[in-house]
């Protein structure tokens, strides 16, 4: 009774809040409340300055940065391989104001990038996180070059008003990061899933982690703090169904570790979650795709997108995440990308749009006329002919029925589809990541629902939400993992 009186006077304190959040998570995961967080053990199995959870881009960036400042860093990876979704990704990284852009006379700046980010994100992006990206992006580009990352190509991609997608080879980047981390003395333990965060109930700080290692439960202390870099939750059907039911029809093509462990652990300690409803599938993948090889964003070079009935249903220049939404509600949740030989030629030097790889895999239907192409893919020929005719007429008149004025969101002029042979590729939306998640502040500190930092807890990469808002600009997910990962590696020592 006395305690009730006191609580009413003081409101919920932090520990109560944590307990209340814990109950919420427990109800969802069917765990008992005592299971959702661990307490400081009598003796740590090992103690270090910083524990980093997850060995993808964000984890390596954080670990290298912290170790570079003299901290003892332990990285924990649940799988027997490193690289997470990062190693599988398309390799597009968004930076603005680089030497590569200058060489090609591309005028870009933080301000233009910011404008584009808010446009793509429909102004729902968290300004604090966008600013953290802008403040640290160019330095991270230069840092990557310094540690040995090679940038292969500069292209324009979804959501960009100028070319700013800096192309890398992801396995090469992971190798460079791994080598750099080793050289700086970072200790990596594979096959060590982190299962709980350890709370010091006396101080209210996250003080370490509980892990499962070779069948044993162990506790590792982190004197300075824990950085969660455990990626997204694309492979957690319960979380997807809970936050983004429309994605239940989409397949996921991501790292095997993307099961939302870190998100649940942070949630148990009161972490706020943002952008959860904006999780999208990326359009342009074959429905049975097993890798980025079965993908082409040929529509950004001038192709059109039609449903199984042979009709267009969307302005092809919008973000491929929004194209994913539009395609998933068509018949059988698929659509066809259609293009001609000139468009294929224009795409041949662009890693994300080129179609020669798809042709080699036997995934492209080809014909000398639109009617023949339609017949090959089981579409009514007259309907597809009419669709292409109307599209070409719209280019002449400047009045496309779906409002297409550009190739990507603000770049390039649409072209007619009139140069045989014509091609078609069955495509759908595939989940490549969950870009909503834990909210962090500009210093990568995890914040609770009241905007207060959770002491000792940091997060970076796909586990976080807020950067993208309603939709994502190509290159900013891998980008934020590296950029904000480095921020986390510095902040954890502050």
- Minimum CB separation of residue 141 from ligand FAD in Å reads 13
- Minimum CB separation of residue 272 from ligand FAD in Å reads 18
Is residue 466 a contact partner of residue 478, using CB atoms and an 8 Å limit?
Answer: no
Q: ω into residue 78 within 30 of 0, thus cis?
A: no
Radius of gyration from C-alpha coordinates of the chain: 24
The yes or no reply on residue 489 touching ligand FAD (CB under 6 A) is: no
Is residue 427 a contact partner of residue 335, using CB atoms and an 8 Å limit?
Answer: yes
Which residues in the 121-150 window bind ligand FAD by CB under 6 A?
none
Sketch the per residue contact string, 420 through 449, with ligand FAD: x for CB under 6 A, - otherwise.
------------xx----------------
Sign, CA torsion 47/48/53/54 = negative
**Binding-site member from 68, 91, 303, 437 for ligand FAD (CB under 6 A):** 91
Q: Give the ranges where 158-228 is alpha helix by DSSP (H).
A: 170-183
| d(C-alpha 31, C-alpha 36), whole Å | 7
C-beta closer to ligand FAD: residue 230 or 307: 230
| d(C-alpha 58, C-alpha 82), whole Å | 12
- Minimum CB separation of residue 75 from ligand FAD in Å reads 9
**Binding-site member from 68, 84, 225, 456 for ligand FAD (CB under 6 A):** 84
The yes or no reply on residue 340 touching ligand FAD (CB under 6 A) is: no
Which residue has 């018949």 as its token pair? Answer: 331
Which residue has 């700086």 as its token pair? Answer: 184
Stretch that binds ligand FAD, among 41-49, 77-85, 243-251, 311-319 (CB under 6 A): 77-85
The yes or no reply on residue 225 touching ligand FAD (CB under 6 A) is: no
| d(C-alpha 241, C-alpha 238), whole Å | 5
Burial class (CB in 10 A: 0-12, 13-18, 19+), 10: exposed
What are the φ/ψ torsions at residue 359 (nearest 5 degrees)?
Answer: -60, -45
Which residues in the 267-296 window bind ligand FAD by CB under 6 A?
292
Sketch the per residue contact string, 290 through 329, with ligand FAD: x for CB under 6 A, - otherwise.
--x-------------------------------------
- Minimum CB separation of residue 240 from ligand FAD in Å reads 15
Those residues with Cβ within 8 angstroms of residue 295's Cβ, 6 or more apart along the chain or in another chain:
90, 284, 285, 286, 289, 352, 358
Is residue 14 a contact partner of residue 447, using CB atoms and an 8 Å limit?
Answer: no
The yes or no reply on residue 456 touching ligand FAD (CB under 6 A) is: no
The yes or no reply on residue 173 touching ligand FAD (CB under 6 A) is: no
C-beta closer to ligand FAD: residue 55 or 338: 55
Stretch that binds ligand FAD, among 25-33, 55-63, 129-137, 328-336 (CB under 6 A): 55-63
Q: How many CB atoms lie within 10 A of CB 45?
A: 15
Which residue has 């290159």 as its token pair? Answer: 475
| d(C-alpha 468, C-alpha 450), whole Å | 21
The yes or no reply on residue 481 touching ligand FAD (CB under 6 A) is: yes
C-beta closer to ligand FAD: residue 151 or 422: 151
How many residues in the shown chain lie near ligand FAD by CB under 6 A?
A: 44
Bridge partners of 225? Answer: 50
**Binding-site member from 51, 55, 74, 417 for ligand FAD (CB under 6 A):** 55
The yes or no reply on residue 163 touching ligand FAD (CB under 6 A) is: no
Q: How many CB atoms lie within 10 A of CB 464?
A: 34
**Binding-site member from 37, 64, 92, 407 for ligand FAD (CB under 6 A):** 92
Binding interface with ligand FAD (CB under 6 A): 53-59, 76-79, 84-86, 88-92, 193-194, 229-231, 253-255, 257-258, 261-262, 292, 432-433, 461-463, 474-479, 481
């Amino acid at each position: 009774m006395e305690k009730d009186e006191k609580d009413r006077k003081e409101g919920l304190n932090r520990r109560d809040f944590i307990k209340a959040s814990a109950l919420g998570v427990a109800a969802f995961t069917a765990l008992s409340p005592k299971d959702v967080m661990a307490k400081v053990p009598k003796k740590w199995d090992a103690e270090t300055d910083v524990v980093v959870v997850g060995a993808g881009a964000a984890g390596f960036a954080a670990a290298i940065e912290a170790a570079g400042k003299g901290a003892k860093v332990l990285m924990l990876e649940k799988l027997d391989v490193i690289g997470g979704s990062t190693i599988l990704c398309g390799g597009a990284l968004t930076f603005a104001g680089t030497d590569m852009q200058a060489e090609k006379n591309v005028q870009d700046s933080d301000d233009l990038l910011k404008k584009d980010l808010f446009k793509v994100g429909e102004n729902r992006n968290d300004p604090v996180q966008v600013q953290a990206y802008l403040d640290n992006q160019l330095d991270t580009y230069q840092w990557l070059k310094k540690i040995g990352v090679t940038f292969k190509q500069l292209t324009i991609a979804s959501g960009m008003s100028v070319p700013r997608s800096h192309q890398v080879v992801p396995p090469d980047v992971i190798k460079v990061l791994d080598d750099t981390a080793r050289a700086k003395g970072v200790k990596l333990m594979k096959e060590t899933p982190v299962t709980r965060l350890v709370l010091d109930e006396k101080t209210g700080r996250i003080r370490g982690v509980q892990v499962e290692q070779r069948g044993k439960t162990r506790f590792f202390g982190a004197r300075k703090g824990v950085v969660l870099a455990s990626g997204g939750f694309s492979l957690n059907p319960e979380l997807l169904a809970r936050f983004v039911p429309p994605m239940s029809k989409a397949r996921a093509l991501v790292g095997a570790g993307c099961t939302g462990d870190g998100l649940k652990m942070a949630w148990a300690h009161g972490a706020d979650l943002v952008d959860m409803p904006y999780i999208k599938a990326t359009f342009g993948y074959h429905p049975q795709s097993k890798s980025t090889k079965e993908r082409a964003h040929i529509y950004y070079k001038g192709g059109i997108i039609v449903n199984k009935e042979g009709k267009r249903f969307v302005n092809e220049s919008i973000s491929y995440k929004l194209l994913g939404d539009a395609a998933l509600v068509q018949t059988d949740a698929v659509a066809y990308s259609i293009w001609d030989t000139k468009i294929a030629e224009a795409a041949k030097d662009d890693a994300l749009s080129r179609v020669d790889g798809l042709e080699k895999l036997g995934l492209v239907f080809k014909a000398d006329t639109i009617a023949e192409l339609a017949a090959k893919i089981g579409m009514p020929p007259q309907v597809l002919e009419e669709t292409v005719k109307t599209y070409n007429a719209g280019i002449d008149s400047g009045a496309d029925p779906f409002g297409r004025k550009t190739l990507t969101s603000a770049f390039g002029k649409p072209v007619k589809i009139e140069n045989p042979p014509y091609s078609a590729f069955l495509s759908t939306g595939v989940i490549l990541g969950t870009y909503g998640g834990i909210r962090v502040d500009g210093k990568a500190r995890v914040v609770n629902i009241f905007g207060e930092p959770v002491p000792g807890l940091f997060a970076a990469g796909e586990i976080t939400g807020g950067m993208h808002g309603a939709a994502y600009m190509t290159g900013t997910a891998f980008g934020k993992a590296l950029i904000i990962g480095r921020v986390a590696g510095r902040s954890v020592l502050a």
